[in-house]
Amino acid sequence: MATITLRGATIHTNGELPKVGTPAPAFTLTRGDLGDVSLADYKGKKKLLNIVPSLDTGVCAASARKFNEAAKALGDQVVVLVVSADLPFAQSRFCTGEQLENVIGLSMMRDKNFAKDYGVLIQDGPLAGICARAVVVLDRDDKVIYTQLVPEIGEEPDYDQAIAAVH
């Protein structure tokens, strides 16, 4: 269990982020077209997982925008996935409205195992049941090479460190 804060109030996640150097937990999430996608679907590419509570918040939206811009320079061997509890329709509407063409929104609509397996499922407080803010970077072989659990949900992740990990 990890401790984070929401506007200074202590809340907890169900576990810890995967350790650097370990295999990433497999997952199945839902795309905007309601199709399922798994970690294996991105085999051979580096993956930057931008895990957010909801794209319907300013900080989550800002991180999606920032990683979308970064993804332009990362090339086609890197995929940037924005994972949240938002419905796929809302994710698609946000990405289309913001013209975010370099990130892929993935929803936990059908399965919260992603949040549990990655240790980011918030256990208490007003956001219980959705994801804490975190970034996980995986290499081409799905090994964890970088993690950050953002200590205060209202703060943005360390973009520079995350992007450097992908290079």
Which pLDDT belongs to residue 105?
92
Burial 40-71 (b: 16+ CB within 10 A, else e): eebeeebbbbbbbbbbeeebbbebbebbbebb
pLDDT value of residue 120: 97
C-alpha span between 120 and 133 (Å, rounded): 8
**Residue 15 half-sphere exposure, CB side, CA atoms within 13 Å?**
10
pLDDT greater at residue 47 or residue 99: 47
pLDDT tens digit string along 51-108? 999 888 877 878 888 898 888 888 888 999 999 999 988 888 877 787 888 888 999 9
Q: Which domain holds residue 147?
A: 3-166
State the pLDDT at residue 58.
Answer: 75
Q: What is the number of domains present in the chain?
A: 1
| pLDDT tens for each residue of 62-78 | 888 889 888 888 888 89
Q: In this model, does residue 30 exceed pLDDT 80?
A: yes
Residues 52, 60, 121, 135: which is the catalytic one?
A: 60
Q: How many CA atoms lie within 13 A of 29 on its CB side?
A: 29
Condensed to tens digits (0 to 9), the pLDDT of residues 101-148 reads: 888 899 999 988 999 999 999 999 999 999 999 999 999 999 999 999
Measured CA to CA, the distance from residue 1 to residue 12 in angstroms comes to 6
H or E stretch covering 161: helix 159-166
Over 80: is that where the pLDDT of 9 sits? yes
CATH number at residue 154: 3.40.30.10
Is 95 annotated in the active site? Answer: no
Q: 31 falls in which pLDDT band (50, 70, 90)?
A: very high
Among residues 58, 57, 46, the alpha carbon closest in space to that of 135 is found at 46
3-state SS of 78-144 is EEEEEEECCCHHHHHHHHHHCCCCCEEEEECCCCCHHHHHCCCEECCCCCCCCECCEEEEECCCCEE
- β-pairing verdict for 9-12 and 78-84: unpaired
